[in-house]
């Protein structure tokens, strides 16, 4: 069995070995008790954005959504700062709801909060907002790219500052995951628009051959192995057993029952994909407190999964053990009666990522070595290319991101170039292997949390937060304060 997934930040599916079924993502509504404590509020605005910034043969525009909170803003007269979230591959409301950090630090900084939606996601759909047209083919999807998105952010921010007569208000950008990549790149490409970037869990080195394609799954392996050797072994061994069982007569039906799969659909690939998804996203969101980002999850869900697997009650039945683990991810609320492998719902509007993964976001992540918790496999660019060709009729440009944004020898390149970027990474996050994990210069710094998961620093805080997390956030606040002080000082310097 080969496991081949276009591994996306938030949505994953298998183009090759498995059936093309995205995992079910439960509708994620923010749990106020867990997090926002009433601080979450924003108004919705739209900006008339240029569809093609780089050519002049297309006068089309589209309505780009951005969310605004001016409750804490110190105003333009005081040159109070503007904190901008550079939206990622989904509905901006969802990212906003899950970026409590910005709401929590805004009062301290008297900051205006702006969350800009990425083009082609949420309600920021070109072609009159008609997603059917926008997503219909490569001609219309052609305008969905990171460089266009960055130019959107620059254009919108400059216009907003003009409208607020806040020309001298410093802008700090924030982002997590792909949004973190965009935040870092935005600081590098648009230093005249932003004074600094907090790039959380931004795997900007997951391109070309900068990072090993085994890194991603190695970290997941380590996450589970670190909890319990038995847990790792059971998961690692389960794939062969599933394969063997599927081959037997009535085996699929047995698997269906073991994993409480709904009757409408099952295949070996879909089941494997469903399980793989659970392990990957549990590792990514292995937060120290209960969460509700992708699915409702308990604190330290990897530990909980391993607990289920190691539970003596489940005896020697591997499927029962694995089911127990999957149940943590898919059914923590306990409401599900069966799991639908044929669920194509996309509550956060993430579908455009497949296009991005087929053009510029070619991130080799699905290598599995002998020790991997998943079956051994190699990263194979040609499989991606084939999938993209058949799906969209496009050939990826695997070298484009490193051409446009760099990545190779990043320490050498940025040691004496650029400034004011924080790269946060949690080492439990499988993406962290492709993050910047060492300080590059005095002001391009890495904050690494051994026990951290995917952009854990950007979450709403909780009383239960461990000390290390509080310290990470404190350090981020201090660094941003320094950027601002330096900026305000420079305002008084005469050139």
Which of 416, 450, 463, 467: binder of a second copy (CB under 8 A)? 416
Residue 303: which of 227, 233, 232, 234 has the closest Cα? 227
Q: Among residues 165, 409, 478, 482, which is the contact residue for a second copy, using CB under 8 A?
A: 409
- Does 492 contact a second copy by CB under 8 A? no
- For residue 211, give both structure tokens: 């990072």
Tell me which of 4, 24, 189, 348 binds a second copy, using CB under 8 A: 189
Interface residue with a second copy, options 27, 33, 43, 59 (CB under 8 A): 59
CB atoms within 10 A of CB 329: 25
| Inter-residue long-range contacts of 374-378, CB under 8 Å, 24+ positions, other chains counted | 374/3, 374/217, 374/220, 374/221, 374/236, 374/239, 374/276, 374/279, 375/1, 375/2, 375/3, 375/239, 375/240, 377/2, 377/3, 377/4, 378/213
Q: How far is the CB of 57 from a second copy (least distance, A)?
A: 3
319 makes contact with a second copy (CB under 8 A): no
| CA 171 vs CA 46, 150, 193, 488: distances in Å | 19, 14, 7, 12
Distance separating alpha carbons of residues 369 and 299, to the nearest angstrom: 29
Query: What does the alpha-carbon distance between residue 466 and residue 428 come to, in Å, rounded to a whole number?
Result: 15
> Least distance in Å: CB of 392 to a second copy?
9
- Smallest distance from the beta carbon of 98 to a second copy, in angstroms? 29
**Cβ-based nearer residue to a second copy, 33 or 390:** 390
Give catalytic residue positions: 177, 429, 454
CA gyration radius, the chain: 22
- Closest-CA residue to 116 (of 74, 158, 81, 78): 158
Which region, judged by CB under 8 A, interacts with a second copy, from 266-274, 289-297, 332-340, 391-399?
391-399
Q: What angle do CA 95, 97, 100 make, to 5 degrees?
A: 100
Nearer to a second copy, 105 or 188 (CB): 188
In this chain, which of 31, 52, 310, 343 binds a second copy, going by CB under 8 A?
A: 52
Query: Cβ closer to a second copy: 63 or 155?
Result: 155
Residue of the chain from 417, 470, 471, 485 that contacts a second copy (CB under 8 A):
417
Question: Smallest distance from the beta carbon of 137 to a second copy, in angstroms?
Answer: 8
DSSP category for residue 198: E
Among 320, 380, 404, 451, binds a second copy (CB under 8 A): 404
Q: Which is nearer to a second copy, 27 or 495 (CB)?
A: 495
Closest separation in Å from C-beta 213 to a second copy:
20
Q: CA angle, corner 484, sides to 478 and 486, nearest 5?
A: 105
Token match 């240029």: residue? Answer: 50
Nearest to 256 by CA among 345, 321, 319, 314: 319
Do the bridges between strand 61-69 and strand 43-50 make them parallel or antiparallel, or are there none, so unpaired? Answer: antiparallel
How many residues belong to the site for a second copy (CB under 8 A)?
62
What is the rounded distance in angstroms from the CA atom of residue 424 to the CA atom of residue 54?
Answer: 31
Q: What distance, in Å, lies between the first and last C-alpha atoms of the chain?
A: 65
Q: Quick check: 358 and 351 in contact, CB under 8 A?
A: no
Is residue 399 at the binding interface for a second copy, with CB under 8 A as the rule? yes
Residue 20 interacting with a second copy (CB under 8 A): no
Nearer to a second copy, 20 or 53 (CB): 53
Q: Min. distance of Cβ 199 from a second copy in angstroms?
A: 16
Stretch that binds a second copy, among 14-22, 48-56, 83-91, 342-350 (CB under 8 A): 48-56
175 CB burial (10 A radius; 0-12, 13-18, 19+):
buried
User: Binders of a second copy among 139-168, rule CB under 8 A?
Assistant: 139-145, 147-148, 151, 154-155, 158
Q: Which of 244, 411, 464, 474 binds a second copy (CB under 8 A)?
A: 411
Encoded one letter per residue, x for contact with a second copy by CB under 8 A and - for no contact, window 115-144 reads -----------------------xxxxxxx
Nearer Cβ to a second copy (31/52)? 52
Considering only residues 336, 414, 448, 477, which one is a binding residue for a second copy as defined by CB under 8 A?
A: 414
Binding mask 337-356 for a second copy (x = CB under 8 A): --------------------
Contact indicator for 196, 483 with CB cutoff of 8 Å: yes
Q: Which residues bind a second copy (CB under 8 A)?
A: 50, 52-59, 138-145, 147-148, 151, 154-155, 158, 188-193, 359-360, 394-395, 397, 399-400, 402-420, 438, 443, 486, 490-491, 493, 495
């Amino acid at each position: 069995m080969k496991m081949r997934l276009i591994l996306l930040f938030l949505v994953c599916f298998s183009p090759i070995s498995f059936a093309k079924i995205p995992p079910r993502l439960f509708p994620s509504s923010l749990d106020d008790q867990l997090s926002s404590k009433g601080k979450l509020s924003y108004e919705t605005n739209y900006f008339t954005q240029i569809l093609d910034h780089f050519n002049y043969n297309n006068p089309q525009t589209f309505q780009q959504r951005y969310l605004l909170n001016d409750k804490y803003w110190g105003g333009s007269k005081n040159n109070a700062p503007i904190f901008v979230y550079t939206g990622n591959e989904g509905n901006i409301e969802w990212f906003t709801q899950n970026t409590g950090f910005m709401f929590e630090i805004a009062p301290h900084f008297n900051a205006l909060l702006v969350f800009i939606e990425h083009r082609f996601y949420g309600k920021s759909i070109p072609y009159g907002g008609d997603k059917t047209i926008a997503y219909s083919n490569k001609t219309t999807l052609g305008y969905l790219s990171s460089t266009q998105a960055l130019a959107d952010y620059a254009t919108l921010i400059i216009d907003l500052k003009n409208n607020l007569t806040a020309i001298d208000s410093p802008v700090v950008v924030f982002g997590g995951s792909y949004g973190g990549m965009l935040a870092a790149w935005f600081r590098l490409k648009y230093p005249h628009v932003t004074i600094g970037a907090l790039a959380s869990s931004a795997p900007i080195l997951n391109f070309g051959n900068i990072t090993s394609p085994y890194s991603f799954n190695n970290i997941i392996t380590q996450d589970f192995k670190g909890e319990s050797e038995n847990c790792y072994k059971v998961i690692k061994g389960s794939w062969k057993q599933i394969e063997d069982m599927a081959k037997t007569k009535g085996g699929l039906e047995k698997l269906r029952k073991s994993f409480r799969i709904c009757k409408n659909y099952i295949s070996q690939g879909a089941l494997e994909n469903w399980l793989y998804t659970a392990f990957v996203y549990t590792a990514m969101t292995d937060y120290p407190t209960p969460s509700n980002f992708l699915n409702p999850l308990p604190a330290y869900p990897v530990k909980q999964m391993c607990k289920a697997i190691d539970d003596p009650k489940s005896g020697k039945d591997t499927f029962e053990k694995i089911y127990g683990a999957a149940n943590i991810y898919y059914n923590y609320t306990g409401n599900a009666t069966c799991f639908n492998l044929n669920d194509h719902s996309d509550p956060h509007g993430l579908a455009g990522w497949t296009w991005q993964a087929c053009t510029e976001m070619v991130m080799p992540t699905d290598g599995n070595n002998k020790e991997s918790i998943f079956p051994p496999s190699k990263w194979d660019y040609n499989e991606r290319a084939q999938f993209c060709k058949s799906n969209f009729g496009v050939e990826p440009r695997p070298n484009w991101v490193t051409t446009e944004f760099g990545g190779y020898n990043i320490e050498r390149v940025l040691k004496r170039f650029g400034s004011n970027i924080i790269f946060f990474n949690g080492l439990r996050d499988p993406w962290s292997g492709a993050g910047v994990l060492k300080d590059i210069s005095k002001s391009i710094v890495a904050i690494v949390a051994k026990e951290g998961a995917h952009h854990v620093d950007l979450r709403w805080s909780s009383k239960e937060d461990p000390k290390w997390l509080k310290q990470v956030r404190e350090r981020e606040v201090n660094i941003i304060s320094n950027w601002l002080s330096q900026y305000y000082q420079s305002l008084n310097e005469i050139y």
